[in-house]
Amino acid sequence: MANATDATPWVRAVRASHDRLAGIVAGLDGDALRAQSYDTEWSVADVLSHLGSGAEIFSRYVDAGVAGGDPPAPEDFKPVWEAWNARSPEDQAARSVAANEALVARIESLDPEQRAGFHVTMFGRMPVDLAGVLGLRLSEHALHAWDIAVMLDPAAKVAPDAVDLLVDRLPLLAGFIGKQAPAPLAVAVITTRPRARLHPSTPAA
């Protein structure tokens, strides 16, 4: 990103997403942790394990972005995933909450100078500022938190404070995580709350 974006609302949203999920996890027993999440391939504990390993990996990106050092390489991810996969559902849940709290607290501790000077390349090809890192983390955390929340309450929605921030970044995220189609494909997305019309040519916020 050529210009630094104010990270403050992203810090608040990441904190709120963590606190909401931590509150949900506190009420889950072993059976609930082993139950199916909305993700058809993962249990609730699997989702929490994914978020916990992600918190560890994002923490390394944050450290690199603050210090101006090298970000983690793709080969650094596998040992983290293997360690999390080897844990019991109860341990995955407890450690996930702790790892996410550590990540959020680390981000909150950054002073204005560190936030303004933050820059790191994500996944070997995406240079971002602190708001960019938090946007990627929030998109992951808020949606996976919903994967758990909606199984407990069918009326659950992805948190509005996260949606308000993430909706303008959908074109950027789609371009980054999407798979190349055999032929050119244009998709328009229309949302109602918040109201927006997104198209591949829409500039990211």
Identify any residues that bridge with 121 across adjacent strands, giving them in sequence order: 127
Q: Tell whether 90 is covered by a domain.
A: yes
Q: Tell whether 185 is covered by a domain.
A: no
pLDDT at 124: 75
Q: Give the span between the Cα atoms of 135 and 66, in whole angstroms.
A: 17
pLDDT at 203: 46
Q: Tell whether 189 is covered by a domain.
A: no
- Residues 6 or more apart whose CB falls under 8 angstroms from that of 198 comprise 167, 170, 171, 188, 189, 190, 191
Calculate mean pLDDT across residues 182-199: 67
Q: Give the span between the Cα atoms of 121 and 125, in whole angstroms.
A: 6
Q: Tell whether 48 is covered by a domain.
A: yes
Tell me the pLDDT band of 59, cut-offs 50, 70 and 90: very high
Length of the chain counted residue by residue: 205
The least confident of 36-45, 88-97, 182-191 is 182-191
The least confident of 69-83, 86-100, 184-198 is 184-198
Supply the CATH number for residue 29's domain.
1.20.120.450
- Which of the pair, 193 or 124, is modelled with greater confidence? 124
Split into its structural domains, the chain has a count of 1
The three state secondary structure string of 3-57 is CCCCCHHHHHHHHHHHHHHHHHHCCCCHHHHHCECCCCCCEHHHHHHHHHHHHHH
Give SS3 for 67: helix
pLDDT at 116: 93
Q: Tell whether 64 is covered by a domain.
A: yes
pLDDT at 202: 47
pLDDT at 130: 96
The least confident of 24-28, 32-36, 114-118, 201-205 is 201-205
Pair type for strands 189-192 and 120-122: unpaired
Q: Tell whether 105 is covered by a domain.
A: yes
Domain holding 46, by residue range, is 8-161
In the predicted model, is pLDDT for residue 112 greater than 80?
yes
> Could you tell me which of 51, 40, 49 has the C-alpha nearest to residue 150?
40
Tell me the pLDDT band of 137, cut-offs 50, 70 and 90: very high
In the predicted model, is pLDDT for residue 191 greater than 80?
no
Calculate mean pLDDT across residues 190-195: 67
Q: Are 134 and 11 in contact (CB under 8 A)?
A: yes
Q: Tell whether 2 is covered by a domain.
A: no
- Which of the pair, 3 or 92, is modelled with greater confidence? 92
Q: Tell whether 86 is covered by a domain.
A: yes
